[in-house]
Structure 1
Amino acid sequence: MRMTASNRLKQLLKERDKLAARLSGYKHTLRGTIVKRGNICGKPVCICKRKNNPVLHGPYQYLSHRSRKSINMIFLNKRKLSRAIRGVREYNELIDLIYRISEINFKVLRYHHARMSDER
């Protein structure tokens, strides 16, 4: 059975509304990257200060966040690490959701613009 254009439009709008309703569930979203880094300590005589083959302390995990002006990093202890992992995962899911909504809007605009009312 072939789907009519108006049925396809209704299906697309229904799917878009379902996806848009999910947007409010992403309250812990964090844009950033979790990175591991080794550190150099403040002791004047330490293996991390060797000129040849230094051994850095760590690795420690940080959340790296790039704003318009600078890159900021937050040290992540165990408690912060779990929250950061959740926030970065939510951000990636949210971006995927926005892309899916945008793809639907593109199809609606391309194929069904004449049938659209300005209300939706």
Structure 2
Amino acid sequence: MEKKDLISWPDFEKIDLQVGTILEVNDFPTARNPAYQLHIDFGSEIGVLKTSAQITKRYSKDDLLNRQIVAIVNFPRKQIGKFMSECLVLGAVGTEGDVVLLNPDFRVNNGTSIA
């Protein structure tokens, strides 16, 4: 894998990483690649945001419900077909494109910042 460009501390500080709990998981049949539509609760300050995630290789809908995850919550919204994505769920990408979601080891409050 090619090494990426270095970023500065101020660049990193712009990224708003937070923990949220997946409240709703729906199939996304019109997506180009197999994906789910997720509704994620990031606490009272941010609320519930929607996103799509190509995580169907490793996770069933039942696996995802009520799971805490880490996401970037300050990306611009992105239109994906008729669906508006409002955050980016983070995961480690395997050699075959399978994604393993990042999550805290212990349950924390929704909206907890990642430092």
> Do the structures match in fold with TM over 0.5?
no
- Largest Rg, 1 or 2: 1
- Give the TM interval when normalised to the shorter protein: under 0.3
So what's the TM-score if we normalise by structure 1? 0.25
| Structure holding more strand per residue | 2
